[in-house]
Amino acid sequence: MRRRRVIALIGGAAVWPLAAGAQEPRRWRVGFLHPGQFRTASMRLAAFREGLGAAGAREDAKIDVAARIADENFDLLPALAAELAGLRVQAICAVSPPAVRAARESTGSAPIIAVDLESDPVGSGWTASLARPGLNVTGIFLDLPDFTAKCLQLVLEASPGGSKAAALWHPAVGTLQLEAAKGAAAALNVALEVFEVRHVADFETAFRAVAQSGNGAVLTLSSPLFSGNLKFLAELALRHRLAVINQYPDFAEGGGLLGYGPDLQDLFRQAGALTRKALQAPPGAELPPVERPVRFRLVANLKTAQALGLTIPPTLLARADEVIE
């Protein structure tokens, strides 16, 4: 078992000077529950703290952030969530479906702000609706069917001529995204073969199996396990000569063929701002509505395309926000 990595960061994410004679500002304590590597989670935490401060507000407040990071050992999440509940945090930012589930089991009252690109909050029973969550969960979620279909279409466009595609799937994030990929493949008349990946140690075996299966176009379904190892995924894709799209632009910037999706640092700033909104809500008020990622970027790597013997169509390049030459 991997060594457990836990950090507790206590400090004011946003502190404003007190006017003479003013009352001591209220103090909030926020939990941050992340399943990924310490290095990656620390970067996301920094952006989250920026969002906590940038959301602004007329009322002064000091915010303490207690972070618990599982270092890709998803089995630790329930215990880490219980630790945060024991600290009596007033809100928890929970990253990924397993973290949201763990946070919900640890508290029935503190607001949970999800950063979850793999679930339908209404379908999961976490919110009553997107506009009026109704329970104690809100957050940032993707429109999975449309987004997954777009990713699959892009990688097929970049690697034309095939009637087969592969999907790399991390079962811990649930099946909703996988079902969306299957539906998108059926609509495009493409046979989709699914390869499970449960640990980083499985990456090499999975890529080898994909290459041997004859699937040239590969869709990596969203998971913190993948987003925390984008450079490694890009190296494996090139080594096995696979046209791969990942849901994060950083993947193409790190040597992968295509990256399409939200900027992760922006996503966590958005989550920080949403957390502050939840904290500032009057007692008994509903949580802020569920949000979508604000901005999506398409990045194409022509150097990788050349190494793979592919010619990315000009129509795709024209839609890209960034082309790496």
Q: Are 135 and 117 within 8 A, CB to CB?
A: no
Looking at the fold, whether 32 and 100 belong to one and the same domain comes out as yes
Report yes or no on 14 lying in a domain: no
Query: In Å, what is the CA distance from 112 to each residue of 93, 95, 324?
Result: 6, 10, 38
Cβ burial of 194 (10 Å; 0-12, 13-18, 19+) is middle
**Domain at 209, CATH number:** 3.40.50.2300
What's the CA gap between 322 and 297, in Å, rounded?
Answer: 8
Report yes or no on 153 lying in a domain: yes
What's the CA gap between 90 and 105, in Å, rounded?
Answer: 15
Report, as an integer, the average pLDDT of 166-184. Answer: 92
Looking at the fold, whether 42 and 87 belong to one and the same domain comes out as yes
Looking at the fold, whether 100 and 169 belong to one and the same domain comes out as no
Looking at the fold, whether 102 and 229 belong to one and the same domain comes out as no
Res. 142 pLDDT band, cuts 50 70 90: confident
Average pLDDT, the chain: 87
For the chain, the domain total comes to 2
What's the CA gap between 173 and 115, in Å, rounded?
Answer: 12
Report yes or no on 74 lying in a domain: yes
Report yes or no on 167 lying in a domain: yes
Report yes or no on 302 lying in a domain: yes
- Tens digit of each residue's pLDDT (9 = 90 or more) over 4-38: 444 444 333 333 333 334 455 568 899 999 999 89
Looking at the fold, whether 61 and 182 belong to one and the same domain comes out as no
Domain, as residue range, for 267? 26-143+263-280
What's the CA gap between 140 and 44, in Å, rounded?
Answer: 14
Looking at the fold, whether 137 and 149 belong to one and the same domain comes out as no
Looking at the fold, whether 161 and 203 belong to one and the same domain comes out as yes
Res. 308 pLDDT band, cuts 50 70 90: very high
Looking at the fold, whether 165 and 301 belong to one and the same domain comes out as yes
Looking at the fold, whether 158 and 139 belong to one and the same domain comes out as no
Looking at the fold, whether 154 and 275 belong to one and the same domain comes out as no
Report yes or no on 77 lying in a domain: yes
Report yes or no on 16 lying in a domain: no
- Tens digit of each residue's pLDDT (9 = 90 or more) over 91-130: 999 999 999 999 999 998 899 999 998 889 998 899 999 9
Provide the 8-state DSSP code for 290: P
Report, as an integer, the average pLDDT of 270-280. Answer: 94
Looking at the fold, whether 80 and 117 belong to one and the same domain comes out as yes
Please give the pLDDT value at position 145. 78
Report, as an integer, the average pLDDT of 237-255. Answer: 93
Report yes or no on 33 lying in a domain: yes
Looking at the fold, whether 207 and 315 belong to one and the same domain comes out as yes
Please give the pLDDT value at position 241. 93
